[in-house]
A and B are shown apart, each in its own frame.
Chain A
Amino acid sequence: MGVFFMHTPFVDSAQKSYWAYAGVLPMPKRLQKQAAPATVVMEIDSIHSFLIRPGKGAESPDDINGATVARSGSLFEMLKPLFDGAERDCPHKIAFNSENGKQENICRDELIAYIKNRDIHHGREIAKRLQSVTTHRSGLGLLFLVAGEEDGETKIVVSRFPADSGVLAEEKGKGLTVEFLERIFMKNAKSYKAAVYAGKSFVNDFWRGQAADKQVNSGESVIADYWIREFLLSDFLTPGEAGTRRFAIAVRETMNRSTEPRVKQDIAAMHNFMVKMPAQTRLSAKGLLDRFQVPAETQEQIKERFPKAKSFDETFTFVPDEFTKFVNMRTIELDNGALLTAPTDRFDQVFAKEPVAGANNDVVRFSTEGSIIDQRFRKVKP
């Protein structure tokens, strides 16, 4: 018997079961280079699985069937690495949103209720929530709830694998039957969503967690609203203004302190694009700099200005106005003592720059026109 997936020309025909194997990606190389985040390795106590059909906006959503997964066998062995490595594989730090300013969040409540009871009934409440936000575009999915406990610490991994389609080929004697299958969850799937939470106190813990979305097109840089905002009722742990401020200060400090003209040129060029970024762009500092193809050497200097190197990879919502606050004036100093200052986004319009004929390439002429409205002294640089 073999299964032929529509998206892949051939999948191991020796695979025994065709119906419900979803898998875990190997750790991305970029993450392998970093110090691995602390992982909480513990025995798995319970696994439940639910088939989630699209139900967003449905007046009478489909019933949800669930199953308890045995703590041994192939499926268990497949899920164990997902559970053990969840902290490493879920790069986005998230936290549940407060509802009406109170320490309440219905999704967190459901998660805690499941942790306390570990049964299909309480797991189904989480499954219903996922179904209620799942559109036909997201399609059919298989939800796994995997939980463990050790030394008073509880850990839960919530993951969703999308369904794929394929062809089942079965040999009977010298004959062959083929059948189209729609509900296949691939062991080597390259697309899944997950979230992990761990803690000891149901009061203070289980507010923050980590999430992954391997289904988005641009790799790990962003995460779907569907998963963290609509299903988990969460947002990034670092708010947009805070993440943007940290990034902007690092960029400004690099611009002001770097002794390398190339780095300063890279940052000046990047700025013009950065302030035009659409609101709600969600990326890490690394992701932002990659998007504008900022060279690695310049990226490294910016990273060094972060309070913690690991914050360089933390996802946040970029807020252009916050960025502009910290890099709104650009100054160029010439070797003749001149200082030219103008708003960063209009600097190139305020000052026309041209090479000086006959001089070496470094010599340039700036010109500008306007009425004098102010003048001031500035103390000498230390």
Chain B
Amino acid sequence: MTSLKETYALRREKVLVPLAARIEDHLKNLFGSLARIDRISARAKSVDRFLGKAAKVEDGKPKYEDPLNQIQDQVGARIVTFYPSDVERVRLEIEKYFKYIESQRIVPESEKEFGYEGRHFILFVPEDLIDDTVNRDESVELFELQIKTLFQHAWSEAEHDLGYKPSVKLTSDQRRRLAFTAAQAWGADQIFDEMFHQMTQPSTR
């Protein structure tokens, strides 16, 4: 019997990696010429990260009964913008060109907290990007798109690297330090956005 690892690895190699490349190209064609976009990228989820997510437990039960059909970010794309107001501008463009089942602004639960921030979409893969030679059961219909500022992106990458080391559990002090860096990133975003608007729309100063 083929294991989940083998099945996903095969799907990743045969279907998801080429699909991610097509999605990246498509996003660059659509939005590459927009102002203040730092980068546009797409990737197929690594086998390790997929298996890690598939093994997640919620309320004592596996979160995903059928990970291959339920995990929605097997292909993930990202658009990194300069400033927070650019995230909103790109969001409006995304909603014009893609049908979505989710469009959420992810922010910490409490105003007193600082942590991960970004705009997350779950989008349908456009029909033109689907390889019709692949059985639909072996592919995905949805992919995740994140829109983040440079600071949100930098923080989440470092936090993911530090916070998900399997052998190390963060101490309370370390978690507090991570929150502090998130607050710094949030503050930098606010100041840059403010300055950008002051300098491009001087009459509103």
Contacts and interface: CB of A to CB of B under 8 A. Distances in A.
Contacts of A203: 69-70, 72
Interface string B65-100: 010011010000000000000000000000111111
A242 B94 CA distance: 10
Per DSSP, are chain B's interface residues mostly helix, strand or loop, or mixed?
A: mixed
B104 A238 contact: no
10 smallest beta-carbon distances between A and B, as pairs: A201-B69, A307-B128, A241-B96, A101-B103, A242-B97, A203-B70, A103-B102, A98-B101, A95-B99, A103-B101
A96 B122 CA distance: 13
B127 A237 contact: yes
B113 interface: no
Given A102-B104, A235-B99, A201 B128 contact: no
B48 interface: no
A227 interface: no
Interface in A94-135: 95-96, 98, 101-103
A205 B97 CA distance: 21
Contacts of B70: 201, 203-204
A98 B102 contact: yes
A242 B69 contact: no
B184 to A, nearest CB: 28
B86 to A, nearest CB: 19
Nearest to A319: B96
Interface residues of B, number: 24
A39 to B, nearest CB: 13
A204 B72 contact: yes
Contacts of A204: 69-70, 72, 140-142
Interface in A307-341: 307-308, 310-311, 314
Given A239-B96, A245-B97, A200 B69 contact: yes
B106 to A, nearest CB: 11
B187 interface: no
Interface string B105-129: 0000000000000000010101110
Interface string A73-96: 000000000000000000001011
A126 B156 CA distance: 43
A93 B127 contact: yes
18 contacts: A98-B100, A98-B103, A102-B102, A103-B101, A103-B102, A201-B69, A201-B70, A203-B70, A205-B141, A207-B141, A207-B142, A208-B141, A236-B99, A238-B126, A239-B97, A242-B97, A242-B98, A308-B132
